[in-house]
Every structure is written in C-alpha cells, then in structure tokens.
C-alpha cells in the first residue's frame, strides 16, 4: 500500500530536492504539491517545481501557488536560491513546461485535494505552516482526512537559527516566518511529527558527501543533487551559520523510510509574541509532538543517494 502524501514547500534548495526525491519513492503516492513564497520567490520556485515534475515525475500532478504572506520575511539572499535551481540546464532541456498550475491558491487546493483523495493523507510541510492554518480556519473538518503532519520546524534548544534585529535568536525560521500559523496547527487535533533543528545535527552537508555525489555524477539524479547543493557552498574560512544541514531532505526521507530515525514525544507550545516569537518550548501544559532525536546518518545518505540513482 502506498502512502498518500501532500507536499507544501517553500522553494529552498532542500525543498526542491525533497520534491525530486518524493518522485522516486515507490511507497509514496504524491497527491499534489504547493509552493509558499517564504524562503523563496514564488515565480522561480513554481517553475522549478513544475520542471522537476516534468523531468522526473509522472503526468497528472499539478502545482498550486500560495498567496499566503508571513509576518517575518526571510533574508533575500536565501530567497534567491529558487532562481538558481530553475535556471539549471538539466531542467530546461525540453524547452517547455508541461505540468500545470492549479487554478486555486494553495490552501484551497489542499482542501480540495484532501477531500478528493480516498482515505487519509500525510501532510509533508518543509516551509511555514500558513497554508495549513488557513485551510483549518476555513474547513476544520479536513482534520479527519489527515493521517498526520510531518513538519520541518522548530527547535527545543536555546539557540535557534534566526539572527534578526528585535529577536533573541531562540526561534527556527519556519516557525518565525508565521508564528501564529504554527500556533493554530498546535491547537488542532492533528498528530505532528517534527524534524527540529537539533534533529538535523547529525546530517550536516559535509565535504565527504559532496565528494561522493561528485564521484557518482554519471547518474543524472546524483548529479542533480550535487548541482543543487553547489548553489549553497560551504564557507570554510568564514564562521557563520552558513553550514547547510539536510533539514527538509531528512524530513522527506522520514516520510519514505521512518526507521532511519528515532522519535520521542514531548509536550510543547509556540510563542507568538515578543522577542522570542517563533520559539517552540517544551512544557507539560503543551500539546504532544513527536520529535526526531537520532538519525542513522550513513543509512540516510545511502537512502537518498540510491533514490537519486533511480532518476
Ligand atoms: O530553518 C531551516 C529551513 C528549512 O526548511 N530553511 C532552510 C530549509 O529549507 C531556512 C534556512 C535556515 N538557514 C538557511 C535557510 C540558510 N543558510 N540558507 C537558506 N535557508
Ligand atoms: Ca524549506
């Protein structure tokens, strides 16, 4: 039995690689895709998504554009990445784009897709939760059609990855972009599996991984991984938080192969106001979330590399 997956992403390098990997999982039925302009600009992220489906996927999928807006915008430099992926020659060989754009905005398109899909669907979100929060506000009964939410978001450590004026640095970006949306989803009855920042500590994009993909680039899908991650090179002589972790890709791999990770359940809340907005905090009064805390690193990299070889 294949799992139904609805994928909402925000056009980062690892979001787009996640889409590519989903198309090669034989235990996954990708029901549809939508794109939210958080850590990306919408137009190139839409084009890149449609071209990835054209090149590597099957006919019948469409891609919906989100009209959601966040409270705290992502840095422009990061949002540019979708332009680079969209410009890859590999995605432009055919000279045309066939996969259609859905005729509704993402949150409405998700409601329609959930309702039209037989049985339940797992929601995979690798950007902010705004479209899900809006969908729940319009039609809370879709909860019955949702198997669970698998989300890349949050951190339960002191140090997050938001370094912005008027913020204390405790948040993760996907929560920070729209803290109210995360809080709305926390208020729902949906089961939540979380890949938090600390869940990805064991899967930084190190040089040996880049070298492995370079050595195996005769496989077009492995070359695609290497080309995409070349857009976010490591800055070895300059200490910033520029190290790329496989945030969204681990989240996506978890959907395809859950035994790659270990999960523990904790109760948590989302802070929506003030200098810690976007912070997720562990507390008894919170709602349960299942957080990934351990990853089989080698099995994970083998899994995604083997998936890429199927392309
Ligand atoms: O906070 C992690 C989220 C993931 O969904 N994104 C990137 C992944 O798609 C934001 C982000 C954090 N650091 C970044 C990010 C960086 N150095 N470059 C681009 N995006
Ligand atoms: Ca993302």
* Cβ within 8 Å of residue 141, ≥6 positions away: none
- Protein residue with its CA nearest to atom 17 in ligand 1: 242
Q: How confident is the model at residue 58 (pLDDT cuts 50, 70, 90)?
A: confident
Is the CB–ligand 1 distance for residue 248 below 6 Å? yes
pLDDT score, position 42: 98
Q: How far is the CA of 55 from the centre of ligand 1 (A)?
A: 25
Q: Determine phi and psi for 69, rounding to 5 degrees.
A: -125, 140
Instruction: Write the pLDDT tens digit of every residue in 267-299.
Output: 999 999 999 999 999 999 999 999 999 999 999
What's the pLDDT tens digit per position in 86-123?
Answer: 999 999 999 999 999 999 999 999 999 999 999 999 99
E strand intervals along 14-120: 28-35, 63-65
* 277 CB-side CA count, 13 A: 17
pTM for the model stands at: 0.98
> Which of 19, 39, 198 should be mutated for ligand 1, with most atoms under 8 A from CB?
39
Residue 266 has pLDDT above 90, yes or no: yes
For residue 257, the CA-to-ligand 1 centroid distance in Å is 23
* 161 touches ligand 1 (CB under 6 Å): yes
Q: What is the pLDDT of residues 177-197, one digit of tens each?
A: 999 999 999 999 999 999 999
CA 24 – ligand 1 centroid, Å: 23
Does 84 sit in the ligand 1 pocket, CB within 6 Å? no
38 Cβ closer than 6 Å to some ligand 1 atom? no
> Ligand 1 atom closest to Cα of 126?
5
- Binned at pLDDT 50, 70 and 90, residue 1 comes out as confident
* Cβ of residue 11 lying under 6 Å from some atom of ligand 1: no
Q: Is 78 in the pocket of ligand 1 (CB under 6 A)?
A: yes
CB atoms within 10 A of CB 175: 28
Q: Which ligand is nearest to the CA of 195?
A: 1
Tens-place pLDDT, residues 143-155:
999 999 999 999 9
- Are residues 9 and 19 in contact, defined by beta-carbon separation less than 8 angstroms? yes
- Written as one string, the DSSP assignment of 61-78 is --EEEP----SSPPPHHH
Largest CA distance in the chain: 55
Please give the pLDDT value at position 243. Answer: 80
Q: Which residues pair with 125 in a beta bridge?
A: 8, 151
**Separation CA 10–CA 66 (nearest Å):** 10
Contact 245, 205 (CB under 8 A): yes
Tell whether ligand 1 has an atom less than 6 A from the beta carbon of residue 173.
Answer: yes
Ligand 1 mean position to 116 CA, how many Å?
32
Query: Could you say which ligand is closest to the alpha carbon of residue 200?
Result: 1
The mean pLDDT of 208-220, rounded to a whole number, is 97
Centre of ligand 2 from the C-alpha of residue 11, in Å: 6
CB within 8 Å of 3: residues ≥ 6 apart:
27, 28, 29, 122, 147, 255
Expressed in angstroms and rounded, the spacing between residue 182 Cα and the centre of ligand 2 is 15
Distance 12 CA to ligand 1 centre (A): 7
């Amino acid at each position: 039995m294949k799992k139904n997956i609805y994928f909402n992403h925000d056009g980062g390098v690892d979001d787009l690689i996640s889409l590519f990997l989903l198309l090669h999982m034989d235990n996954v039925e990708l029901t549809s895709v939508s794109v939210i302009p958080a850590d990306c600009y919408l137009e190139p992220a839409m084009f890149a998504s449609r071209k990835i489906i054209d090149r590597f996927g099957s006919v019948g999928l469409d891609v919906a554009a989100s009209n959601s807006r966040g409270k705290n915008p992502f840095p422009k430099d990061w949002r540019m990445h979708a332009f680079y992926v969209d410009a890859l020659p590999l995605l432009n060989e055919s000279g045309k784009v066939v996969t259609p754009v859905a005729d509704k905005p993402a949150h409405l398109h998700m409601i329609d897709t959930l309702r039209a899909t037989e049985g339940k669907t797992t929601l995979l979100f690798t950007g902010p939760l705004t479209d899900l929060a809006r969908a729940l506000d319009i039609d809370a009964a879709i909860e019955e059609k949702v198997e669970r939410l698998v989300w890349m978001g949050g951190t339960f450590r002191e140090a997050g990855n938001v370094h912005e004026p008027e913020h204390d640095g405790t948040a993760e970006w996907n929560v920070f972009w729209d803290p109210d949306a995360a809080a709305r989803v926390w208020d729902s009855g949906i089961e939540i599996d979380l890949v938090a920042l600390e869940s990805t500590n064991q899967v930084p994009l190190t040089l040996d991984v880049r070298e492995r993909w370079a050595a195996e680039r005769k496989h077009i899908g492995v070359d695609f991984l290497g080309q995409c991650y070349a857009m976010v090179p490591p800055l070895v002589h300059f200490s910033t938080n520029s190290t790329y972790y496989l945030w969204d890709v681990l989240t996506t791999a978890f959907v395809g192969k859950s035994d790659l990770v270990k999960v523990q359940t904790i109760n948590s809340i989302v802070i929506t106001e003030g200098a810690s907005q976007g912070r997720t905090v562990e507390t008894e009064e919170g709602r349960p979330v299942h957080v990934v805390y351990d990853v089989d690193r080698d099995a994970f990299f083998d899994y995604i590399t083997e998936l890429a070889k199927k392309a």
